[in-house]
Structure 1
């Protein structure tokens, strides 16, 4: 995380994508900044003692809880995973155990670091691979650098894209791809060993062959081959573990669903069991994975829930204590919906404009249409089910359905959506009859 990412700057970035919810944005910004502050402390003992101040976001669906966490992780370029508390079961029961969230987070981190390393290596070896392909097009003397230079320039300009060259394919390329996915926490090594023995017995194992492919595919194939030979997974895995431990963010959604409620039955026992299992993960423990041990002490946990039938105080006291920051998000109003449609970067209306532009449709929305879309969304939330800002997508999709169905066009079609067009679709007399159509 960069030094310039101050809490105020973080909130400014979040403001581009999330309307309202200032208190929530301020709290997550402070939590993110505290990570940088902790890392900057020179005293290692002090640094080790400072743990993240985990957050519970309280609010109904569609008010921005998930989006805040997701954007925060993207802003910090941190490993991020969203999990649902209801998907986990108490240890000893069939289902997902809570430690799998740490394993999944590590898996995401490994894939991210590997992807970054692959891009770095591709950049490093691209020039050499292009020169190799140039030699396949027209073998040149190493002394004659002008011929090589001209060929390379022509390849980069796309002049040889469809030209076919003969590439020697490694034996590895002839074998079927076999991926082993273990069930639960079962070790994969034994199964993988069996697979390796089977693969080694394939006919033609160890023999290379030449195949024809166009220049674009040849560059791509040789580049991937070069990357595969030079990527060091043994160096990536320790780095991934460190990154997961120091920068990981886990968003636990629907935490209210595992809170104990008054007058609860047998299901309350299961909920309490999941809480007991989550507690050490949030508190700080070591989780064993197939890549090594992962300490959870400095992973940031952001929990969220509507808490309509319960409250955070219904969670186990020990678990409550591990989420010291509690923020209640406000329900969105019509004015917020208008801002979401007009002020958010890459907002919903801009997305549909870009989609329809592909099919020769230039679409625009009047101020009246936008206000009416917001008004209809509010009405449906109040009279059907409150799904917050997600309702906007339902309404806009309905308004544009016929236009999207009729496209594409040969000639550019300029279409302006006004309040009247929205009213024609959402007539008052039919709105009540067809409410079921808008329930997600």
Structure 2
């Protein structure tokens, strides 16, 4: 409460110096509190001691590992952060959120929060490992640095099997944590993984590629879809961009065709197609401020015509 007391002391000095609109010589804290709540004192400046956010220690020590070292560094950081204070002269309006945050932190039992978080992670935790195929190498083409991918798999094996993992918050037991792995497996197969790792990932699900309908939904259903992003981007240049429904269907159709004929990169293809359609408008946007552009099916076909031809030819390039 030292920060609050210091703040009250400074406010009291302002009161006794005759700067308060209330004429009483004695500090009437009730009236003073009302002035504070009404914002009448927001422009007054006070000196406030706040934790120095610049005094931080790294959470990890290079080359060191283990519960003891990480926990020691974490507690040292917490201790030093709580001891180092910085005195600043700020207005009461700016001091309010700072003091509110400091007092809220004091009311949090961080040790109990950490304990509950570890317990929830151990009992209900889910770990999703994406692009696991990047550490899997085809047995027929394994050579050189690619052989190190097997070492990464061996490092993951005990964690997925169930072990005690050291973190800066304490030890976490992974026995009951659900691990989900995913990958495209274009240049390898799931069977190329270590046999032990395959045994720890017993349920295998193969997903179908995104089709035309899926790509259309991606273009329309998310709140911040690619179409909406392009419209807001053009709005910064005072250009009103309108996509008709048949234009959006054509965008999805083109993306699906290119994925099928060249390389299936999923929804990422939509970025390429949409950028190709709005490329000319975006390039000349500063010169066309205030105009409205409507993109229909024919506009999409004209913009991506050459793109589709190049996609067809790419299948025959060695």
Q: Are the equivalent residues in 2 in contact too, given 1:167–1:218 (CA < 8 A)?
A: no
Distance 2:34 2:161 in 1: 60
Equivalent residue number for residue 366 of structure 1: 244
State the 1:329 CA deviation: 0.8
User: After the TM superposition, which residues 204-219 of structure 1 pair with which residues of structure 2 at under 5 Å, given as runs?
Assistant: 209=87, 211=89, 213-219=90-96
Residue 299 of structure 1: how far off its partner (Å): 1.4
CA RMSD, 1 decimal: 4.3
Which structure would you say has the larger RCO, counting Cα contacts within 8 Å and 6 or more residues apart?
1
CA contact (8 A) 1:133 1:215 kept: no
- The structure number with the bigger radius of gyration is 2
CA contact (8 A) 1:134 1:148 kept: no
Structure 1 gap ranges (5+)? 1-124
Q: Specify the alignment match of 1:337 in structure 2.
A: 215
State the 4+ residue runs in structure 1 displaced beyond 6 angstroms: 131-134, 189-200, 205-208, 408-411
1:195-242 CA-partner distances (Å, limit 9, x unpaired): 999999xxxx9887451x234422222223323444332222212211
1:323 equivalent in alignment to 2:201? yes
The answer on whether the counterparts of 1:255 and 1:305 sit within 8 Å (CA) in structure 2 is yes
5 Å-filtered alignment, 1:324-403, equals 324-357=202-235, 360-403=238-281
Aligned residues: 294
Relative to the length of structure 2, the TM-score reads 0.72
Once residues 215 and 408 of structure 1 are traced to their aligned partners in structure 2, the CA distance between those partners, rounded to angstroms, is 44
- 1:332 and 1:338 map into 2 onto residues whose CA distance is 10
Q: Measure, in 2, the Cα distance between the counterparts of 1:198 and 1:382.
A: 58
Cα 1:208/1:356, change in 2 over 3 Å: closer
Distance of 2:79 and 2:95 partners within structure 1: 30
Distance 1:276 1:198, change over 3 A: closer
- The answer for the alignment partner of 1:183 in structure 2 is 62
| CA distance in structure 2 between the partners assigned to 1:415 and 1:352 by the alignment | 12
Match of 2:310 in 1: 432
| Residue number in structure 2 paired with 1:59 | none
Assess if the C-alpha contact under 8 Å between 1:341 and 1:347 holds in 2: yes
Distance 1:152-1:259 versus aligned 2 partners, 3 A rule = same
- Cα deviation 1:47-99 (Å, max 9, x = unaligned): xxxxxxxxxxxxxxxxxxxxxxxxxxxxxxxxxxxxxxxxxxxxxxxxxxxxx
1:166 corresponds to 2:51 = no
Partners of 1:237 and 1:354 in 2: CA distance: 41
Residues 214, 271 of structure 1: alpha-carbon distance in 2 compared, 3 angstrom cutoff: same
Equivalent pair of 1:167/1:210 in contact (CA under 8 Å): yes
Q: Structure 1-normalised TM-score?
A: 0.54
